[in-house]
């Protein structure tokens, strides 16, 4: 289903009409309805998956190139997609929102800002064509983040998709982390959190 969503968004980019180039930088908002983040957290005994929604965001574009991207994530929107039992699902989501993990009451939003977009030479088709460098802020802690992404810009329209991971221990998310506790055994939760994303500005 995720792959199909990616393909649909890529198809939209391919059919968008090119607009006259303008050296002026334009700022366009991201579409909350067309943007989505999927997360995967792994532990010794398995993994959990879920979604996270954007709260706001915009892209600055010039000459069919991305110049700056700012995204604000709604940490209260965290869901779990792999647990089918409603009670177990609610328990996990509540734990993720608690002080043990993202402490959404104190830190209701996360933030990502990127101003460095390096084109990847030789990228073909829908392969990642940009190396993106930016800063991710969670729980009030800002850290550098770098990843590869496929980005398509035509006029005032941008779509991007890709995969990345971040180390939760760098954001003081300690629960079940071997970076802070010893002897966890099969209760250990890995520090790396994987994200898959599709983001798109409005039509």
- What are the tens digits of pLDDT across the range 90-109? 999 999 999 999 999 999 99
* Residue ranges of the chain whose pLDDT lies below 70: 1-23, 203
Do the Cβ atoms of 198 and 9 come closer than 8 Å? yes
pTM of the model: 0.85
Q: Specify the pLDDT at position 155.
A: 84
Distance, in Å, from the CA atom of 192 to the CA atom of 48, rounded to the nearest integer, reads 13
Q: Specify the pLDDT at position 40.
A: 98
Record: fold of 23-152+170-196: Lipocalin (2.40.128)
Q: Specify the pLDDT at position 203.
A: 62
Task: Measure Cα distances from 144 to 33, 39, 59, 99, 135 in Å.
Answer: 27, 19, 19, 23, 4
């Amino acid at each position: 289903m995720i792959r199909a969503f990616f393909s649909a968004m890529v198809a939209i980019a391919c059919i968008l009409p090119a607009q006259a180039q303008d050296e002026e930088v334009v700022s366009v908002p991201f579409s909350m309805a067309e943007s989505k983040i999927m997360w995967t957290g792994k532990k010794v005994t398995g993994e959990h998956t879920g979604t996270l929604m954007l709260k706001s965001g915009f892209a600055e574009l010039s000459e069919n190139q991305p110049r700056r991207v700012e995204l604000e994530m709604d940490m209260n929107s965290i869901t779990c997609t792999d647990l089918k039992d409603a009670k177990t699902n609610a328990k996990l989501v509540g734990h993720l929102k608690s002080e043990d993990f993202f402490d959404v009451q104190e830190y209701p939003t996360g933030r990502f800002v990127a101003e460095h977009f390096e084109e990847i030479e030789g990228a073909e088709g829908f392969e990642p064509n940009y190396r993106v460098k930016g800063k991710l802020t969670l729980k009030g802690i800002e850290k550098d983040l770098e990843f590869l992404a496929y980005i398509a810009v035509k006029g005032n329209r941008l779509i991007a998709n890709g995969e990345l991971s971040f180390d939760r221990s760098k954001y003081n998310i300690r629960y079940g982390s071997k970076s802070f506790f010893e002897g966890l055994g099969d209760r250990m939760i890995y520090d790396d959190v994987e994200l898959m994303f599709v983001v798109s500005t409005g039509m």
